[in-house]
Structure 1
Amino acid sequence: MEWASHPSAIVAPSTILASAATGVVELIERFSGDADSILGNVSIRPDDLTNPFNELRLSDFCNLFEEAARQTRNDRFGLHFGEKFEPRRLGAIGYAAISSPTLAAALRNVEIYFPAHQGQSSFGMIREDSDVFWLSYRIFDDRITNRRQDAELSMGMFLNIFREALGPSWVPLEVRFEHDAPDSAYFHEKIFGAPVQFGRRTNAFAFRRRDLDAKMPNQDPYLFSIIEPFLKTRCEIHQNPEDFATTVRNQIKLQLGDIPPSIAEIARILGVTDLSLQRQLRQHGVTFQELVNAARKELALHYLEDPDMRLTEIAHCLGYSELSAFSRAFRGWTGMSPHRYRRM
């Protein structure tokens, strides 16, 4: 099941808080660009960037970095921006991360409250096996097509959340981007310190399960208690079925294993009662089983990219007791068998 808007529906533009662009003018000037010209070409006023709580159109934000890359003739502009971006400069969502007790809690808080920071986008973790996880990020607003610079700066920002907890020398196991490969990936591999692949389904990087246990050095329960109401309020204002479905689906993906998680397990992880989660699912027009199926489909496509992962192992990881059950489900999703899909 996909949560795209109905073709005839009028969908409001997705937005992002201006805090995500903190320091962009200075970087443009560092690379000898004309900030006023670049901002004017993408319909952003300089004053729009002065208040971190201002909302920018996500399309304008993405175009800002694409235009900066074009005018400065630096196609790695977003990569440079994300590399130096400290989590606290993200504003409320950044402070929610660094004030959390552990890296696991930081990522969970960012995932839960990401809709308060940026609309129509997904942020979450995917478990590959008992030891390897992936942090995944993607804009799912199909109206936004210029995404390379945003993807590279965003993955750099998220990398720095990990380095806040694990130290500046920490590196992921592998990095993936959905856009096509540039002329050279040397600088990408240098900044991330890991192999980088392009043309993948989403933007993501892999890390070890033990990394999640790292303590956040600036954990501050009091600060988090101040920030959380603001983030909750913004989530309630901006919440839509896509954001809600993404949050629940991401948690289901993390818990999938021999047996699919129950609604009670997911409710406990999200900090709500079973009845509350059931009520919210009804309000958003989705069922828990639909979200389980969507999570299974997404993970199945992810696992099938690994040629060394046997189909029986994939079925087991998705909670199917038999390969035949997984094959039937996969045919329902894609119209073809897992074996044929992998060969294609």
Structure 2
Amino acid sequence: MSVAIEDFKIRAGAFHGPALLLSSGSRQFQTTIQSLGLPTDPEEIVDVSAYLKGMTSLTRLADNNDFFVWAGYSQKVEDLGFFGRAIISAETLWDALQIARSALLYYQSDSELVIRVYNGRCHIWYFNPFDARQAVHDVQYTMSLLANVICLSRFQNDPDILITYPNGSPSHFPNSAPIGQVRNSSQGYISFDDRLLKSRMSGRDGLQAEILSRYLADKSLLVEKKPNLKDLVGGLVRASFGVAPWSLVNTSQALQIHERMLQLRLKSEGTSFREIVQTERHQTSKRLLRAGKSIEETAEALGFDHRQSFSEAFSGWEGMSPSIFIKMQEPQSAN
């Protein structure tokens, strides 16, 4: 692995599904989370010691060594935060697995999903930086979560799912689960009929999947601590440039915060959704123009309908037209 185990980080959303299983309502969920000293925001980052301690605490509270198998399979994937919402919003299972693989570093640093398709089967291996003793609950949870994701697709044929993990047993899954075989193994592995990869996901939302995937691909998010709401909204707005217009409604859905509450929380941070959009457009426009993009290309990338409307907006931000701004960059380029 590329980093020391002490540098391992994971988003707090890993605790939320299991904690919800132990709670009968939102208030009890908050109480459970707080009593165990676990973060309440799924996007918050915890280190390896806090992660292992949290998993052990939840296991003891559940009084079940295989608790994380049940948790992973029955969890609402969207409770994992942006990572989970991007996965379930994908168009097909193939898209969902690619999001899971590429965005895993955002959710759980220094872990890896390897996906291969051959001989009519899709094969997935999961690797983490833990030793065998530490890895048990993490591998159980991750493989059951993957099985959950696969079962969220709308399959027409028998998926013939094979899954292996520590202490793996068919008794861990309900009889109604479309899982053919479960085996005990120290390795996290799952395979299924590759025809399932074309199946559509039950909660597909192409726009949300694209924006969240682009947001999760931002490498700076891997090392930052929990951002404030203004930064989260700004990141989503930036990710939308060049894709489609991104509204307050879209943001509310992605963050799972009611629109009015979102507006109030942004106001408490001294800003608004409109101000964030204008700031992100302003900063991105300067970066694009300095990079050599034309005024037309920049206007289109930022979602302006016409060059003129972009020029007017840019003049208001910068106190000069974009054409003058470009000319002012030329001496710097020559130097």
TM-score range, shorter chain: 0.5 to 0.7
**Residue 183 (structure 2) pairs with residue 197 (structure 1):** yes
SS in 2 for 1:175: strand
Q: Distance in 2 between matches of 1:148 and 1:24?
A: 16
| Kept after mapping to 2: 8 A contact 1:65/1:77 | no
Report the TM-score, using the length of structure 2 for normalisation: 0.56
Map of 2:126 onto structure 1: 137
Trace 1:108-257 onto structure 2 (pairs within 5 A).
108-127=98-117, 129-142=118-131, 145-166=133-154, 172-177=160-165, 179=166, 181=167, 186-188=171-173, 190=175, 193-200=179-186, 202-234=187-219, 237-238=222-223
1:18 paired residue among 12, 18, 23: 12
Where does the alignment leave 5 or more consecutive residues of structure 1 unmatched? 240-344
Structure-1 residue corresponding to 2:282: none
2:92 aligned partner: 102
What secondary structure, in the 3-state scheme, does the structure 1 residue paired with 2:153 have? helix
Tell me whether 1:66 sits opposite 2:60 in the alignment: no
The one-letter code sitting in structure 2 at the alignment partner of 1:160 is: N
Question: How many angstroms apart in 1 are the aligned matches of 2:173 and 2:48?
Answer: 24
Query: Does the C-alpha gap of structure 1 residues 126 and 55 become closer, same or farther in structure 2, counting only changes over 3 Å?
Result: same
**Unmatched 5+ stretches in structure 2:** 225-335
Q: Note the 1:251-330 alignment, pairs <5 A.
A: none
1:278-322 CA-partner distances (Å, limit 9, x unpaired): xxxxxxxxxxxxxxxxxxxxxxxxxxxxxxxxxxxxxxxxxxxxx
User: In 2, are the aligned partners of 1:188 and 1:196 still within 8 Å (CA)?
Assistant: no
CA distance in 2: counterparts of 1:20 and 1:234, whole angstroms: 20
Whole-Å Cα distance in 2 between the matches of residues 135 and 208 of structure 1? 12
| Aligned CA distance change for structure 1 residues 88 and 167 (closer, same or farther; 3 Å) | farther
Whether the 8 Å CA contact 2:125–2:190 is kept in 1: the answer is yes
SS in 1 for 2:70: helix
CA separation of 1:213 and 1:23: change in aligned 2, threshold 3 A: closer
1:75 Cα offset (Å): 1.6
Percent identity over paired residues:
18
Kept after mapping to 1: 8 A contact 2:88/2:204: yes
User: What amino acid sits opposite 2:111 in the alignment?
Assistant: S
Q: Which residue pairs with 2:41 in the alignment?
A: 51
1:116 alignment partner AA = Y
| Correspondence 1:89 to 2:53 | no
Deviates more, 1:65-74 or 1:95-104: 65-74
1:120–1:141 CA contact under 8 A, matched in 2 = no
Residue identity matched to 2:151 = R
State the AA in 2 paired with 1:196.
V
Once the two structures are overlaid, the 10-residue window that deviates more, 227-236 or 71-80, is 227-236
Cα distance in 2, alignment partners of residues 148 and 192 from structure 1: 24
SS at match of 1:165: coil
1:214 CA displacement:
0.7
Contact in 2 for aligned 1:63/1:146 (Cα 8 Å): no
Q: Is the 8 A contact 1:122 1:140 kept in 2?
A: no
Give CA deviations for 1:29-58 in whole Å, capped at 9, x if unaligned. Answer: 57xx99989977xxx624x1x111101124
- Total equivalences in the alignment: 220
8 Å Cα contact 2:99/2:213 also seen in 1: no
Q: 1:130 offset after TM fit, Å?
A: 2.5
Going from structure 1 to structure 2, the CA distance change for 1:224 and 1:4 (only over 3 Å counts) comes to closer
